[in-house]
């Protein structure tokens, strides 16, 4: 039981040493991640549509 308590105390001390990002940085990073995710999803969706269209034209005549 002592080891668990020591671990939790040490974890709390280490968390106080963390350099947390500001709220503004966190919001900016979130917007960047969402934007890139949407761009990649649109790109992959476009590729899927394009190859599906090619399949219909050349293979499924």
**Joined tokens for residue 31:** 């917007």
Q: Looking at the predicted structure, is the pLDDT value of residue 40 above 90?
A: yes
pLDDT > 70 in the chain, percent:
98
**Joined tokens for residue 3:** 């080891």
Rounded average pLDDT over 25-39: 99
Q: Looking at the predicted structure, is the pLDDT value of residue 1 above 90?
A: no
Q: How confident is the model at residue 14 (pLDDT cuts 50, 70, 90)?
A: very high
How far apart are the C-alpha atoms of 43 and 50, rounded to whole Å? 10
Q: Looking at the predicted structure, is the pLDDT value of residue 29 above 80?
A: yes
Backbone torsion region of residue 21, taken as left when φ is above 0, otherwise alpha when ψ lies between -120 and 50, otherwise beta: beta
Question: Is the separation of the CB atoms in 21 and 29 below 8 Å?
Answer: yes
Q: How confident is the model at residue 33 (pLDDT cuts 50, 70, 90)?
A: very high
Local structure of residue 39 (DSSP, 8 states)? H
- Largest Cα separation within the chain, whole Å, is 73
């Amino acid at each position: 039981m002592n080891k668990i308590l020591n671990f939790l105390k040490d974890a709390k001390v280490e968390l106080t040493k963390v350099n947390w990002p500001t709220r503004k940085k966190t919001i900016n990073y979130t917007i960047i991640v969402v934007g890139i995710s949407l761009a990649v999803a649109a790109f992959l969706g476009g590729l899927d549509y394009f190859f599906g269209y090619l399949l219909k034209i050349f293979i499924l005549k």
